[in-house]
Structure 1
């Protein structure tokens, strides 16, 4: 019952109960006195009757008003007091004090809204803790991935300065290694910059209508040149007559596909290397599958491969380690497009990366 209805009924009861009580008191006392004195009432008896009458009426009024006031005030003051306590505890950082209410009045609704706010603050606090932990891990990982190549560069430069590279061949090897290491650092910094912009939603997407069938025909033609060197090949599986036009940023989707394929190629040791791209239509989106014949991913690693800096290769070597941001960037870009990304894999049987893109209206 709402507080408004409760107050109205309380006021009505404060009027009706005394009136009804007065009526009943008049009847009961009148009957008792009439029977007791057999209808012969002198002035003293009349005065006694009036005193009893007014005393009873006063008692009824006091009792009625007291009980109704106590009931109404209790039903209002207790929830307000609980909300006040909750607000005070939340202000000190204590988010464990629940004010959930099963009452159907305005204060019950207010308490439940306050409870929802408390739960949201609690979730926000957990998210902030996770974000802070992730930030600290990110800084540690960036420090590691930048320090390692810097140490390598310093070592080779020191070798040149000390005359270790005393032949043209050694000097060329040292300078080539320094250049390649510096180039790897530059790529890492570029990926860090892109990842941070995507994470902060500061990377603007240039949406347009993209025909994924034509897009992958061109992309696979480019990829075939590199795969042929390793006796490999790339294929596209799709129905040419189907509609694969999506609303997307062409360059960002190119980055997604390139990152996935580069990640796949690091783990395809046996020849021939095979990349299979498949397109599947649904009512509102296109599902893209990029499958390889690499070494596969352990089932325990699959839920984490899209996390930043996660590597299935614990050695973090330069051959397979990479920056650890490739698939994280893939996830960020696809999410920015309103799509989803996931993976399926079996050890020694290859891996498949899937992502969805919304169809152009």
Structure 2
């Protein structure tokens, strides 16, 4: 019942209940005095009846108005006190005090709105804490990933300065290592720059209609040519008569599949490297699977591989290297396209990276 309805009924009750009470008291009092005790209808008995009736009316008015006022005020004041306490707790940083209620009146609606605000503030606080932890981890990861190659470069430069590279062959080898390490640092910085721009939505996306069948046919041809020297194989499995047209940024899409391939090749442990692309047309989207025959990913690591700086090699200095940002960049690009990305893997057999793109209706 709403507060307005409660107040209307209370006002009606303040009029009706005293009248009903007065009639009942008058009937009972008259019966007792003039029938049971055989009182006189005049003189002192009649005056006593009028006096007692007046007292009864006053008592009825006081009791009914008092009870109705108490009931109505209690139903309003109690929720207000609870809201006040919750507001005080929130102002002091305590977001655990719940004011949720199942009441259907205006104060109940206000309490539930306040509760939604409390939960929203609590979630924002948790998100902020998580963001701060991620920021600290990001800084630590950047520091580690930049200091390691820098230390290596300084070591080789010191070796050259000290005359350790005392032959042309050694000097060339030292310079090659320095160049490769500097090149890896350049790649890391490029990934950091791109990831940060994606994170603040600074990179503009130029969406156009892209035929995934043609796109992957060209991509697989290039990849197969590169893998030939290592006796590898790249294949595309799709129905050429099916509509695989999506809305996508061609350049960013190419970055996605390139990052996936680079990540796959990095962890290939088979003599014959295999990468397969599978296209599946669904009602509203196209699902793409990119499968390799690499070393696979442990089950507990799969949910984390799209996080920034996450690596399945906990030592962080495996020979595979990498910035730990490739898959995080993939996730951000696909989400900007309105799609989803996930992985399935089995240790020793390989990994499949899946992502979806919105289909263009034919």
Please state which band the TM-score falls in when normalised by the shorter chain: over 0.9
Once residues 93 and 336 of structure 1 are traced to their aligned partners in structure 2, the CA distance between those partners, rounded to angstroms, is 35
Q: Over residues 15-61 of structure 1, what are the superposed CA-to-partner deviations in whole Å (9 max), with x where a residue is unaligned?
A: 00011111122222222332267463333223222111110000000
Q: Over residues 243-276 of structure 1, what are the superposed CA-to-partner deviations in whole Å (9 max), with x where a residue is unaligned?
A: 0000111111101100000010011132221111
TM-score (norm 2): 0.96
Q: Over residues 164-184 of structure 1, what are the superposed CA-to-partner deviations in whole Å (9 max), with x where a residue is unaligned?
A: 222222222222221211111
**What is the match of residue 255 of structure 1?**
255
Once residues 208 and 111 of structure 2 are traced to their aligned partners in structure 1, the CA distance between those partners, rounded to angstroms, is 47
Asked if the contact 2:294–2:349 (Cα under 8 Å) also holds between the matched residues in 1, the reply is yes
Report the RMSD for the aligned CA atoms in angstroms. 1.4
**What is the match of residue 211 of structure 2?**
211
Once residues 226 and 40 of structure 1 are traced to their aligned partners in structure 2, the CA distance between those partners, rounded to angstroms, is 124
Residue 308 of structure 2 aligns to a residue in which SS?
coil
Asked if the contact 1:297–1:346 (Cα under 8 Å) also holds between the matched residues in 2, the reply is yes
**What is the match of residue 137 of structure 1?**
137
Residue 331 of structure 1 aligns to a residue in which SS?
helix
What are the equivalent positions in structure 2 for 1:265-280 lying under 5 Å apart? 265-280=265-280
Once residues 98 and 193 of structure 2 are traced to their aligned partners in structure 1, the CA distance between those partners, rounded to angstroms, is 42
**Structure 2: stretches of 5+ with no match in the other structure:** none
**What is the match of residue 106 of structure 1?**
106
Question: Structure 1 residues 163-172 or 221-230, which shifts more?
Answer: 163-172
Asked if the contact 2:156–2:174 (Cα under 8 Å) also holds between the matched residues in 1, the reply is yes
Query: Would you say how many aligned residue pairs link Structure 1 and Structure 2?
Result: 361
Once residues 322 and 33 of structure 2 are traced to their aligned partners in structure 1, the CA distance between those partners, rounded to angstroms, is 106
Residue 229 of structure 1 aligns to a residue in which SS?
helix
**What is the match of residue 312 of structure 2?**
312
What are the equivalent positions in structure 2 for 1:1-361 lying under 5 Å apart? 1-35=1-35, 38=38, 40-317=40-317, 319-361=319-361
Once residues 231 and 141 of structure 1 are traced to their aligned partners in structure 2, the CA distance between those partners, rounded to angstroms, is 36
Asked if the contact 1:313–1:321 (Cα under 8 Å) also holds between the matched residues in 2, the reply is no
Asked if the contact 1:316–1:322 (Cα under 8 Å) also holds between the matched residues in 2, the reply is no
Q: Over residues 304-348 of structure 1, what are the superposed CA-to-partner deviations in whole Å (9 max), with x where a residue is unaligned?
A: 111111111233336312111111111111111111111111111
Once residues 152 and 169 of structure 2 are traced to their aligned partners in structure 1, the CA distance between those partners, rounded to angstroms, is 19
Shift of 1:220: 1.0
**Structure 1: stretches of 5+ with no match in the other structure:** none
TM-score (norm 1): 0.96
Once residues 283 and 41 of structure 1 are traced to their aligned partners in structure 2, the CA distance between those partners, rounded to angstroms, is 94
Asked if the contact 1:264–1:294 (Cα under 8 Å) also holds between the matched residues in 2, the reply is yes
Asked if the contact 2:39–2:45 (Cα under 8 Å) also holds between the matched residues in 1, the reply is no
Once residues 209 and 12 of structure 2 are traced to their aligned partners in structure 1, the CA distance between those partners, rounded to angstroms, is 69
Q: Return closer, same or farther for 1:222/1:22 CA change in 2, 3 Å cut-off.
A: same
Residue 275 of structure 1 aligns to a residue in which SS?
strand
Asked if the contact 1:21–1:60 (Cα under 8 Å) also holds between the matched residues in 2, the reply is yes
Q: Over residues 59-90 of structure 1, what are the superposed CA-to-partner deviations in whole Å (9 max), with x where a residue is unaligned?
A: 00000000000000000000000000000001
Question: Structure 1 residues 69-78 or 321-330, which shifts more?
Answer: 321-330
